[in-house]
Amino acid sequence: MLARRRRGILTLTFLFSSVASLGLATRHRAHAQEAPVPLAVDFSRSLGPVRTVANGFLIHGVPPPEEYVAPLKPYLWRVGVVDPVVYASAVAVGAKVQIVVSDTWGYPNALYGWPYHDWQAWENHVRAQAARAQRFGMTVQWDVWNEPDLPEFWAGTWEQWLQTYVIAYRALREVDPAAIVGGPSVSTPSDVGSLRAFLDFCLASGCEVNFLSWHEFESPQIASIPTRIATARAVAQDPLYTPVRVREIQINEVTGADVEYSPGHVIVAFHYLEQGGADAAVKSCWSASDGTSNCWNGSLDGLLVPETYQRRAVAWAYWAYAQRAGLRFETSSGDPAIAVMASAQPERGLILVGYSGPASSSSGSRNAALAIRGLGVRSDVAMRAYYLPNSGTAPLAAPVQVFSGRLLVTGGVLTTEINGLVPDVALLIVLEP
């Protein structure tokens, strides 16, 4: 990798020598003819305080040691057990806890089958879980059922699932009148009709949906996350549904198996989740290449190497996201597959760039031109740039520094060229006076 200054403009040129096949070289030459993708950051246009709500995790089994989790500043842990030890681990790193009640029951329960086979057994089970949480002083959210639209998690009808929800809601509220209960946590984004049907049912049945949730796994649909969140929020805010009391919109599983190790996809997902105003988001987990599951092998949903807890590149993307503090600022991109996020404290600006993969406007590597505005009367700034490759399951000791130096600011604008940006990579850029 090379970084060089030319005629007052910083150029970051990424040379992937380890994969410099003829096909890759040809593709780079082809895209060299395209105009660079315009990227922009404006530090004079604040979007308000930073909200790092997308760094949530699915926690199964024993979580990794606190020293490996705390630097990621997790916002939400989604767990399948009422366990005071797991709860204490979450609280220790500042995370909220969401318990998936269906995980505590089973798919199906070994003794009772599905809830609709024995409604009383289901009600008793839910009440017992709530009582256990209360006994240990646990303040949690309750997600009634995981992905009831998939046959491996639900064998009944939609109507039977609605009954499952309302029975659980009433049992939870009997034990704790302030219990936070939500769903439906379906595996694909809900359309307006199904959202309204769910809320209509609760409106008629006297139940609440304190968080409205679904999962996002399809990479090509990532740029339309804000639209789906806006649609869901518009439905939830319909005055008709005021008694249902929807407080949050959650994407309580995100990232498909095809991109689970991709730093670039993570940054792009974070960008669109924040742009859409998601109140929480949780990383999904999938099967590992060795036949184990990243849900159960202590890898923090694939971010860490099991047992050794070495960080993978995707973990560094979560770490970079957690470093954001202070205020968020306006950004833009000429390609929906390339996202830019910016934040600043009084003495530091932080910019994250992610490339999630080919969009309709591109078919591989891209060149980009990043214009950083709102730098005031400064004549120069110090810049450090770090690169996060998609290293898959291999550990990455630290983000790879590709530039460090002072750069001139002309008319309050700093222009940076990024050449050879390939899918799945991310950049971390730090600006200081």
Lowest mean pLDDT among 37-51, 217-231, 320-334: 217-231
- Structure confidence by residue, pLDDT tens digits, 120-172: 999 999 999 999 999 999 999 999 999 999 999 999 999 999 999 999 999 99
pLDDT at 359 over 80: no
Per-residue confidence (pLDDT) for residue 10, from 0 to 100? 41
Q: Using N-to-C axis directions, what is the helix angle for 192-205 and 158-175, rounded to 10°?
A: 50
Candidate from 36-40, 271-275, 283-287, 420-424 with smallest mean pLDDT: 420-424
Please report the pLDDT score of residue 363 as a whole number: 53
Q: Looking at the predicted structure, is the pLDDT value of residue 412 above 90?
A: no
Q: What topology is assigned to 56-322 in CATH? A: TIM Barrel (3.20.20)
Q: Is 90 exceeded by the pLDDT of residue 399?
A: yes
Q: Is 81 a residue whose pLDDT tops 60?
A: yes
Q: State percent of the chain over pLDDT 70.
A: 91
Residue bearing the bigger pLDDT, 141 or 419: 141
Per-residue model confidence as pLDDT tens digits over 291-335 = 899 999 999 999 999 999 999 999 999 999 999 999 999 999 999
Task: Give the range among 156-160, 240-244, 376-380 with minimum mean pLDDT.
Answer: 376-380
Per-residue DSSP letter, 234: H
Residue 2 parent element (H or E) = strand 2-6
Closest CA to 72 of 318, 274, 302: 318
Q: What is the pLDDT of residue 361?
A: 45
- Cα separation of 390 and 219, whole Å? 16
Query: 291 or 175, which is more confident?
Result: 175
Task: For the chain, give every residue range classified as CATH 2.60.40.1500.
Answer: 2-49+325-432
Peptide bond into 184 cis (omega under 30): yes
Q: Inform me whether the pLDDT recorded for 95 exceeds 80.
A: yes
- The average confidence (pLDDT) of the chain is 90
| pLDDT > 70? residue 262 | yes
Q: What SS3 state is found at 366?
A: strand
Among residues of the chain, what percentage have pLDDT more than 90? 81
| Buried-state track 276-306, b at ≥16 Cβ within 10 A, e below 16 | bebbbbbbbbbebeeeeebbebbbbbbbbbb
Its sign, for the CA torsion 94, 281, 161, 239, is positive
Q: Does 360 score more than 70 pLDDT?
A: no
What six digits make up the tokens of 92?
Answer: 């220790």
What pLDDT is stored for residue 358 in this prediction?
A: 61
Of 101, 81, 205, 181, the C-alpha closest to 148 is: 101
What does the alpha-carbon distance between residue 121 and residue 99 come to, in Å, rounded to a whole number? 19
* 307 compared with 220, residue with greater pLDDT: 307
Check residues 179 and 31 and name the one with the higher pLDDT. 179
Q: What pLDDT, on a 0 to 100 scale, did the predictor assign at position 416?
A: 87
Q: CATH 3.20.20.80 in the chain, residues?
A: 56-322
Token code pair at residue 33: 């003819």
* Closest of 318, 249, 282 to residue 80, by C-alpha: 282
- Residue 189: the pLDDT is 78
Which CATH architecture group holds 2-49+325-432?
A: Sandwich (2.60)
Please report the pLDDT score of residue 24 as a whole number. Answer: 24
- 62 or 129, which is more confident: 129
Position 259 pLDDT exceeds 90 = yes
Count helices and strands (H / E) in the chain: 10, 19
* pLDDT of 4 strictly over 80: no
Residue 23 predicted with pLDDT over 80: no
DSSP 267-302: HHHHHHHHHHT-SEEEE---B-TTSSBTTTSSSTTT
pLDDT digits 0-9 by tens, 329-358: 999 999 999 999 999 998 899 999 999 976
Determine phi and psi for 303, rounding to 5 degrees. -75, -30
Q: Report how far residue 332's alpha carbon sits from residue 183's, in angstroms, rounded to the nearest whole number.
A: 33
